[in-house]
């Protein structure tokens, strides 16, 4: 165990920055969604990637407590972005 106030080890730094990069990528995807909408080809590819190649249709159920249902994946994704809850799943 490292002493308080000492720098992280190399593996600890990699882990620390890995999580920051992931959130940064998620916020960038949200910005694209906000600017261009769900029909943008890049946004659609991201949505397809997140859903194993097929964007779900119809009502969406999520892990979000208190807000379990959304009319479609686009609405769910916008909600997730506005709340900065990037990694909530359907």
pLDDT tens digit sequence for 6-52:
778 888 888 877 877 788 888 888 999 999 999 999 999 989 998 88
pLDDT of residue 44: 94
Model's pTM, two decimal places? 0.72
Question: What does the domain layout of the chain look like in residue ranges?
Answer: 10-83
pLDDT computed for residue 1 by the predictor: 61
Which phi-psi region, left, alpha or beta, contains residue 53 (left: φ > 0; alpha: ψ -120 to 50)? left
Picking from 22, 19, 39, the residue whose alpha carbon sits closest to that of residue 77 is: 39
In this prediction, residues 74-90 reach a mean pLDDT of 87
Q: What is the pLDDT of residues 45-62, one digit of tens each?
A: 989 998 888 998 888 888
């Amino acid at each position: 165990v490292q002493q308080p106030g000492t720098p992280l080890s190399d593996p600890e730094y990699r882990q620390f920055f890995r999580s920051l990069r992931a959130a940064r990528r998620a916020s960038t995807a949200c910005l694209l969604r906000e600017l261009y909408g769900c029909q943008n080809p890049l946004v659609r590819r991201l949505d397809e990637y997140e859903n194993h190649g097929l964007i779900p249709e119809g009502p969406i159920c999520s892990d979000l407590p208190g807000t379990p249902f959304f009319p479609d994946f686009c609405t769910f994704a916008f909600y997730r972005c506005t709340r900065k809850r990037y990694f909530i799943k359907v």
